[in-house]
Amino acid sequence: MARIALVTGGSRGIGAAISKALKDDGYTVAATYAGNDEAASKFSEETGIKTYKWNVADYNESKAGIAKVESELGPIEVVVANAGITRDAPFHRMTPEQWNEVIDTNLTGVFNTIHPIWPGMRERKFGRVIVISSINGQKGQFAQVNYAATKAGDLGIVKSLAQEGARAGITANAICPGYIATEMVMAVPEKVRESIIGQIPAGRLGEPEEIARCVVFLASDDAGFINGSTISANGAQFFA
């Protein structure tokens, strides 16, 4: 029987590549999204992957959405907490709304995604939790105090979950992508993009598929002893 995988924010960008790679590897995939119905239905038509709409920032919506996925597809064995947003501003201009929106989606959203799935994983003695963090959670970033706080928080979440889940056959790991060629990054002016690329020793942006392949590996049985780890996929963009 195919394992069931849930990918939040799985209809666009890095999440879409993750959903497709897991499907190609034999998983039955549920991809969630927040509100972009057009992108989600196009993605679903092209890939045959089922999409579900809920706001990861809302615990009750997440719990109900996860219950629906499990009733339609079966118990979730792999969860990829990928949904994320940015609301950038230098700290002196960052509003409490910008802070809260990013914390609610990127950090509380990870709790809301994993928490309803965790008891089932413990009972079945198997689970793979993969959180998409960011290089900016490792090194900080100008105008991203909110975002960097959430992405650093992800690393604390997986390290703690790893210790709680290890005896129950559950692993929890994070991936920290560097700059990846998603719509968001491709939309920045070419000059800015060139200067970003200039800071990447590999001399190029990463591809969403390169992050997706890390997810497929961490989800596999072969990765069973990798727990509480962080995979950095950033083209050698080292940091202090």
Report, as residue numbers or ranges, the catalytic residues: 147
Q: Are 211 and 17 in contact (CB under 8 A)?
A: yes
3-state secondary structure of 220: coil
Binding residues for ligand NDP, how many (CB under 6 A)?
30
**Which residue stretch of 82-90, 122-130, 160-168, 187-195 sits at the interface with ligand NDP (rule: CB under 6 A)?**
82-90
- CA torsion sign for 33, 37, 41, 47 is negative
Q: Is 110 one of the binding residues for ligand NDP (CB under 6 A)? A: no
Please say which residue, 11 or 146, places its beta carbon nearer to ligand NDP: 11
Q: Is 180 one of the binding residues for ligand NDP (CB under 6 A)? A: yes
Please say which residue, 184 or 223, places its beta carbon nearer to ligand NDP: 184
Residue of 112, 134, 227, 232 interacting with ligand NDP (CB under 6 A): 134
Please say which residue, 127 or 206, places its beta carbon nearer to ligand NDP: 206
Residue of 153, 165, 177, 235 interacting with ligand NDP (CB under 6 A): 177
Find all residues with CB under 8 Å of 46, minimum gap 6, and list them: none
Please say which residue, 143 or 166, places its beta carbon nearer to ligand NDP: 143
- CA torsion sign for 118, 121, 122, 128 is negative
CB of 178 to ligand NDP, least distance (A): 7
Residue of 57, 66, 121, 162 interacting with ligand NDP (CB under 6 A): 57
Burial class (CB in 10 A: 0-12, 13-18, 19+), 213: middle
In this structure, the number of other CB atoms found within 10 A of the CB of residue 14 comes to: 28
Q: Is 132 one of the binding residues for ligand NDP (CB under 6 A)? A: yes
Q: Is 35 one of the binding residues for ligand NDP (CB under 6 A)? A: yes
CA dist 209 and 197 (Å) reads 18
3-state secondary structure of 63: helix
Q: Is 197 one of the binding residues for ligand NDP (CB under 6 A)? A: no
CB of 11 to ligand NDP, least distance (A): 5
CB of 89 to ligand NDP, least distance (A): 16
What are the phi and psi torsion angles at 21 (to 5°)? Answer: -65, -40
In this structure, the number of other CB atoms found within 10 A of the CB of residue 149 comes to: 16
CA dist 168 and 44 (Å) reads 33
Q: Are 56 and 84 in contact (CB under 8 A)?
A: no
Q: Is 36 one of the binding residues for ligand NDP (CB under 6 A)? A: yes
Q: Is 9 one of the binding residues for ligand NDP (CB under 6 A)? A: yes
Q: Is 105 one of the binding residues for ligand NDP (CB under 6 A)? A: yes
CA dist 168 and 162 (Å) reads 10
Binding site for ligand NDP (CB under 6 A): 8-9, 11-15, 32-36, 39, 55-57, 82-85, 105, 132, 134, 177, 179-180, 182-185
